[in-house]
Structure 1
Amino acid sequence: MAGLGANFEFDLKKIIALSTLRQLGLIIRILAIGYPKLAFFHLLAHALFKALLFICAGSIIHNLKDSQDIRFIGSIVNFIPLTSVCFNVSSLSLCGIPFLAGFYSKDLILEMVCLRLINCLIFFLYFFSTGLTASYSFRLFYYSISGDNNFYSRFSFDDKGYYISFGIIGLLFVAVFGGSLLS
């Protein structure tokens, strides 16, 4: 339900919050079919890239003068490239793009669901909910890369804060290599 709601939302913080609820639902479902270690592994992998997603979203919202509407972040990659690239990497890791942190846990979850003898409806729901995650992740990717910067002048953007950039780069390495290190 949270994944479906995230696909129709335009508020950046609500999309990320609904994404977190969707991942918590996945962890509970993994616990329900009897894989507590896999649920904990997904919780840790999810924390790696979600921390980067929250930091980058906060930076984007700050640069947009506290506006959270994703329709206003068009072509933000041209103005704050470091934050935008890290935001998109963490968003792509959320949907399980190969060899990012989210891939290792999501691939293992879907593999265990395929090997487990479960109801066809539940099998479909696992893959459908993963598709919803990919859908809203690519929607965020689309809004941040393409489109017009609809509201703000480019002079109001700043990607030069030392502490935030250092934190974003550190979390980027964790979001890219953390899943393979955890597995």
Structure 2
Amino acid sequence: FISSMTMFMSGLGANFEFDLKKIIALSTLSQLGLMMGILALGSFELAFFHLLTHALFKALLFMCAGNIIHSLSNCQDIRYMGSLIVYMPLTCAIFNICNFSLCGLPFMSGFYSKDLVVEVMSMSYLNVFIYLIYYVSIGLTVCYSFRLSYYSLTGSFNFISLNSLMEEVGFMLKGMMGLIFLVIIMGSVLSWMVFPSPYFICLPVMFKLMALLMIMAGMFIGYSLAKMSISGFLVSLNN
């Protein structure tokens, strides 16, 4: 119960947060809640597997966020960001892939662990409240990830109209480019290494499609939240 409420509250908090680091930190807290929840169900190997895959893409997500914040002179407000894909294409591409992995998009490393966690949870004998909280938390994860991508990668750049923003090909970017391959392929590799025998999942079609439906619903709600006209009294620096 505590782990499910941790997931839900941190996911809900991240959806209304404008600080880039806080959103990623709340996302980490949400995933820790998921790990503790699956640990409470007795699946120790599965919790460890999710910990490993999550460590990969979350470390890379923090590196991308650090690179963006450094380039914007320590500005962490995502409302000042926009069109970063034009100025920092490699960093933003890696950032987006990590976000997709966090959402549990098929065939990313996060998909292999997260989908398995949800299916094992669906096979357990739990009450409806826990099912509901888990699935809503998955939707919230996709929601804040999509909102973060929308704010930082699209729209107009709101920081300084006269700028020399660019990404430097240094140690940071080289490390990120090396780690991105692990984010893409290590989900399947770790699933072969961690589990001696594959999990047997027997679920109705509706339960199998539930995670995918929540991902799609989360994308729609995240897009709707990002398009809302509430700016939080932001004064653009373009004026």
Q: Which range, TM-score by smaller chain?
A: over 0.9
CA shift for structure 1 position 154: 6.6
The number of residue pairs the alignment matches comes to 183
Name 2:68's counterpart in structure 1. Answer: 60
The answer on whether the counterparts of 1:48 and 1:174 sit within 8 Å (CA) in structure 2 is yes
Name 1:161's counterpart in structure 2. Answer: 169
- Superposed CA deviations along residues 129-182 of structure 1, whole A, max 9, x for unmatched, are 111100001011111221110013474322123211111101111111111111
| Structure with greater contact order relative to length (CA < 8 Å, sep ≥ 6) | 1
The answer on whether the counterparts of 1:28 and 1:39 sit within 8 Å (CA) in structure 2 is yes
Name 1:29's counterpart in structure 2. Answer: 37
Give runs of aligned pairs for residues 8-157 of structure 1, distance below 5 A.
Answer: 8-153=16-161, 155-157=163-165
Q: What one-letter code is carried by the residue in structure 2 that aligns with 1:156?
A: S
| Normalised TM-score (structure 2) | 0.74
Q: What SS does the corresponding residue of 1:168 show, helix, strand or coil?
A: helix
- Unpaired runs of at least 5, structure 1: none
Give runs of aligned pairs for residues 171-182 of structure 1, distance below 5 A.
Answer: 171-182=179-190
Identity over the aligned pairs, expressed in percent?
57
Q: What one-letter code is carried by the residue in structure 2 that aligns with 1:170?
A: G
Over the aligned positions, Cα root-mean-square deviation in angstroms equals 1.1
Name 1:3's counterpart in structure 2. Answer: 11
Q: Mark the structure with the bigger radius of gyration.
A: 2
Instruction: Give the direction of change, closer, same or farther, for the CA distance of 1:170–1:151 in structure 2 (3 Å limit).
Output: same
| CA distance in structure 2 between the aligned counterparts of 1:154 and 1:88, rounded to whole angstroms | 26
The answer on whether the counterparts of 1:79 and 1:154 sit within 8 Å (CA) in structure 2 is no
Name 2:204's counterpart in structure 1. Answer: none
| Normalised TM-score (structure 1) | 0.97
Runs of 4+ in structure 1 over 4 Å off: none
Q: What one-letter code is carried by the residue in structure 2 that aligns with 1:78?
A: V
Q: What one-letter code is carried by the residue in structure 1 that aligns with 2:78?
A: I
Greater helix content = 1
- Unpaired runs of at least 5, structure 2: 1-8, 192-239
Q: What SS does the corresponding residue of 2:29 show, helix, strand or coil?
A: helix
| CA distance in structure 1 between the aligned counterparts of 2:185 and 2:81, rounded to whole angstroms | 28
